Structure 1
Amino acid sequence: MPSQPPSKPVIVCVVAARPNLMKMAPILRAFAKPDFAARPVLVHTGQHYDADMDSDFFTALDIAAPDFRLEVGSASHAWQTAEVMRRFEPVLDQTQPAAVLVVGDVNSTLACALTAAKKNIPVFHVEAGLRSHDRAMPEEINRVLTDQVAELLFTSEASGTSNLLREGIGAGRIHFVGNVMIDTLRLRLSSAPSVAQVLRDANLAGFIADGAPYALLTLHRPSNVDEPQRLRSLLGTVARLSADVPVLFPLHPRTRAMIHQHDLSDLLDAPGLACMQPQPYLAMLAMMQAARMVLTDSGGVQEETTALGVPCLTLRENTERPITVTEGSNAIAGRDPAVILALSRDILRFGGKAGRVPQYWDGHAADRIAAAVNTWFAQRRRRRP
Structure 2
Amino acid sequence: MSVLTTNKQFICEQFQEYLKIIYHLGNKVMLLKQLWYYAKELGLARNLNEFYSQMVKLEHSEIIRKEPFTAYGKKTQLQMLVLRKYGIRFIEEKPDSYSVASVPKASSNERILVSIFKNRYIQTKILPRIRQESEKITFENIVDLLNRDCSTILLNKNEGISYLSQISSNQRFQNELDIAEIKQEIEKMQFVDQKRLEGLKKGSASSSGKGKGKVISSSDMPLDEVTRDYFNSLLLKDDTGVKFVSPKNQRIYCFSIDTMLNCNYHIAQIKSIQNKLHVTILMFDIHNKQNAYKVAKDIACFYHMLSRYLNVKNDFKLKIGVICLDKAAAKRVKTDSEAPVRDFISKEVRGTRLSATLRDWDVGEEMQKHIDVQFTDYNITNDFLDGIKHVNLLRR
Please indicate the TM-score interval, normalised by the length of the shorter structure.
under 0.3
- Normalised by the length of structure 2, the TM-score is 0.22
Q: Which structure is higher in RCO with an 8 Å CA cutoff and minimum separation 6?
A: 1
